[in-house]
Amino acid sequence: AQSVTQLDSQVPVFEEAPVELRCNYSSSVSVYLFWYVQYPNQGLQLLLKYLSGSTLVKGINGFEAEFNKSQTSFHLRKPSVHISDTAEYFCAVSVPSGSARQLTFGSGTQLTVLP
Amino acid sequence: NAGVTQTPKFQVLKTGQSMTLQCAQDMNHNSMYWYRQDPGMGLRLIYYSASEGTTDKGEVPNGYNVSRLNKREFSLRLESAAPSQTSVYFCASSWRGLEETQYFGPGTRLLVL
């Protein structure tokens, strides 16, 4: 079974500073990778996803992530954060499971942007 | 276009009581999912329905049952609630399978005393 590790449970950062949220996964088979964001008291919404092709994926709100197969990582980055980026971020990995696919979420990283 | 809606938003139950969480989507999606979210554990899949008329167990199905009533609606039932089922429950849908973007509802916050 695959697992997803988000290495930091909390990341505080000052406004306009860059940020990187780290995600590593354990799987040797074909993976699809996702980053979701959850604002307070809301459901999750997709930031970006990697299915195939270019390893650098651009998402909404200025976020991007790079798929690194050799390091089994999919870190999320933003060059300059805003107060409104304060939220919880979840990495998720989808792998084949029989005729379907299985999706596993990481435990989340709380990003807090400080003024 | 409401997306994914869930009712109720909040619920308090006593141990042993039963309840049904309702979920509906208006995006004509084939697949629907129920997750629970607990602090420090991310989201865990309870049950999913790949298409109307089919349901399958996820990672943590014990203590729950589901019904895919039609293409739009997917309900989650707790027959005899336990304090361990205190959680936030999210319904989601996607066009097809788990390679697709999932669209989440706002969640139901359940407290079992």
Q: Which token pair is B86? A: 């205190």
Q: pLDDT grade, residue A28 (50/70/90)?
A: low
Could you report the per-residue pLDDT of A74-112, keeping only the tens digit for each? 999 999 999 999 999 999 998 777 666 778 899 999 999
Work out the average pLDDT over A28-34.
84
- What pLDDT does residue A115 have? 95
CB of B97 within 8 Å of a chain A CB? The answer is yes
Question: Which residues lie across from B13 on neighbouring strands?
Answer: B112
User: In sequence order, what are the residues at sequence separation of 6 or more whose Cβ sits closer than 8 angstroms to the Cβ of residue B7?
Assistant: B21, B22, B108
Helix (H) or strand (E) holding A4: strand A3-6
Average pLDDT over residues B31-54: 90
Q: Does B21 touch chain A (CB under 8 A)?
A: no
Distance CA B11, CA A67 (A): 40
Half-sphere exposure of A82 (CA within 13 A, CB side): 5
Number of Cβ atoms within 10 Å of the Cβ of A112 = 14
Q: Nearest 5°: CA angle at B71, between B68 and B72?
A: 90
Q: Is B107 on the interface with A (CB under 8 A)?
A: yes
Point out the residue among A41, A43, A49 whose CB comes nearest to the CB of B101. Answer: A49
**Mean pLDDT for chain B?**
92
Q: How far apart are the first and last CA of chain A?
A: 41
Q: How confident is the model at residue B95 (pLDDT cuts 50, 70, 90)?
A: confident
**Amino acid B50: pLDDT:** 87
What count of Cα atoms within 13 Å lies in the side-chain half-sphere of residue B59? Answer: 17
Cβ contact, residue pair A107, B105, below 8 Å: no
Instruction: Spell out the residues 6+ positions from residue A30 whose beta carbon is closer than 8 angstroms to its own.
Output: A95, A96
Contacts of A63 (CB under 8 A, 6+ apart): A35, A47, A48, A76, A77, A78
- pLDDT band, residue A52 (cuts 50/70/90): confident
Pairing of strands A44-50, A32-38: antiparallel
Percent of chain B with pLDDT over 90: 75
For residue B91 the two structure tokens come to 């319904």
Q: For tokens 């361990």, what's the residue?
A: B84
Q: Which residues of A touch B90 (CB under 8 A)?
A: 43-44
Q: What is the pLDDT of residues B50-85, one digit of tens each?
A: 888 899 998 899 999 999 989 999 999 999 999 999
Report the pLDDT value the prediction gives residue B9, as an integer from 0 to 100: 94
Nearest Cα to Cα of residue B6 among B68, B74, B78: B74
